A and B are shown apart, each in its own frame.
Chain A
């Protein structure tokens, strides 16, 4: 099996405080609450992960995969387990509900499923959208949960050992679901809570699905979201996935998306990241069949002292497959963006066509980007291209707008938005595209 992500173990990290970081991971584990009672069948998976956590530690910047993303904000947060669950009404979450998905949505509050805020009555037969606890009565989840490559990574393991419930979208064979399905993760930020959202998507043979995952907050505040989303795309199926991370700028967000794609399948991920004091998206795609197509569109837009890291990996294993990736970062003020784009093309994956482009706009002299393509190509008959650009706003472009009577500050905002729009435009849900455009047009700074 190809190693998708670096696993750090206490034993091979030579830092004096490794014990502290292992202890801290234990502390995080102890904040968990018991597994949802109807998920007893998953207890063995949870126990295995719990045992595994004992061997791990929170990574440090000595670990190559975390070299630029210093986890100090996580170590300093005085996290608590959530015991009091707020009662939210629909008006609280209404601004975040995509109108197209008003009757095809699941809502989680501080990581806990909220049936009153969820509504799935607008869906046809052939698709099951539910919390894991309820779904366990109808579907055997154990062949899918925590079974994909990279499940042993430290934060993924912590999630597997800690999650209590989660979201399930299961599309039956040949079903085409036109309505987008929205999974909304709301943080109330009323206390430094820790949440482990878990999501499983299964798109059976020949099915088609549009998925929106949206991480939002009602207030600014310190909390930790550690999410894992697992996506299984069967033969000839198609999943279009939009993932928006707009957590509090004081929060720590670590998110994993893993998609396994069988032959002739298509997976698109539009990942937009605005929030978090420290955010990390581990986006991993594992192709298992021929003629498989992967499209990754990423946008990170940060300011202040935010740090946002995207580590993506696409692993090819069979011939005749393709991938296209564009990752854009807009970095303002003292913010720091990181992009690492791994593409693995082993000997068996002949005639692969993979393209990767990283484009960054630095809006301030103190803004920083670390961007790195990481192509590991063994096959000899492939087409793999990559490129990276880092730039500032072009004086001639700003001047063009000024020469039309638009003041300099507005001109800069407009051009920054235009840079972001290339990615936002890929989102297949009209209202969401408009909503994100509005955010990108007048960012918080």
Chain B
């Protein structure tokens, strides 16, 4: 929902970044306000996933220029764990498996590290279980998954639901969903989307990174951005996604060339 005077959560100015010496982001600009849903689309290799990892603080990506301001502070100064504790959440395209660590333990450690950072008491195992039971419903997850090792032997859809369950617990200010729709069948896509919609408020924001328009039928964006060559080259409303689906990305490139 676009509201003129709502708080700016994220302001990215002229951001450049590289991985192993190869420049990927080449002057990216984006502003995200509270209550907004942004979709970032674009061809493979345009830098979408890199952008999400740079925001979350992946150590392999080096920021070479520009600014990222998150809730008024310089985000780039923070370690990945402190970004998470401050309210940034990245849902992974490929969540990792952690044998021997129960999902419940993992969720509790993550949840408590955020509470501790905020100066709150940590929840004990019993209170936490009550909390997590309520959140399971957001993604229609079977409680049996809490006792299993993190993501171990989960199907693609179950892993993505587990990501959204983590989002439900951590209640991020800014959620970045990196291709959360990839590999999902239509039922799983509906459940995951409904979960995200439930978690959306006027106080937080979501950035969706996706290849496919299909996701945007379920999570309706306020803005659609097209990335190309490490920059956002076009921004429009939700109708832009439909146009991209129909015409591909080449026409944007042509218009851009024509405009010069």
Contact = CB atoms under 8 A, between A and B. Distances in A.
Interface of A: 395-397, 399-408, 410, 414-415, 417-418, 420-422, 424-425, 437
A397 B56 CA distance: 14
Given A415-B98, A418-B99, A437-B100, A408 B170 contact: no
A417 B101 contact: yes
A404 B99 contact: no
A421 B105 CA distance: 15
27 contacts: A396-B96, A397-B96, A399-B53, A399-B58, A400-B92, A402-B79, A402-B80, A403-B80, A403-B90, A403-B92, A404-B110, A404-B113, A405-B81, A405-B84, A405-B85, A405-B110, A405-B117, A405-B170, A406-B81, A410-B109, A414-B98, A415-B98, A418-B101, A421-B101, A424-B100, A425-B100, A437-B100
Given A402-B80, A405-B81, A405-B85, A414 B59 contact: no
Interface in B220-243: none
A317 B68 CA distance: 67
Interface of B: 53, 56-60, 79-81, 83-85, 89-90, 92, 95-101, 106, 109-110, 113-114, 117, 166, 170
Given A407-B81, A418-B101, A400 B96 contact: yes
Contacts of A395: 58-60
A405 B113 contact: yes
Nearest to A437: B100
Contacts, number: 76
Contacts of A410: 109
B81 A417 contact: no
Contact of A402 (B57, B100, B117): B57
The residue among B60, B98, B113 with the most chain A CB atoms within 10 A of its own CB is: B98
Given A400-B95, A405-B85, A405-B170, 14 more contacts: A399-B59, A399-B60, A402-B57, A402-B79, A403-B81, A403-B90, A404-B109, A405-B84, A405-B114, A406-B110, A406-B113, A418-B99, A420-B100, A421-B99
A417 B100 contact: yes
A407 B83 CA distance: 11
B79 A408 contact: yes
A408 B113 CA distance: 12
Contacts of A399: 53, 56-60, 80
B41 to A, nearest CB: 23
B60 A418 contact: no
Nearest to B56: A403
B109 A406 contact: yes
Given A403-B90, A404-B110, A405-B110, A418 B98 contact: yes
A275 B46 CA distance: 51
Contacts of A397: 96
A397 B97 CA distance: 9
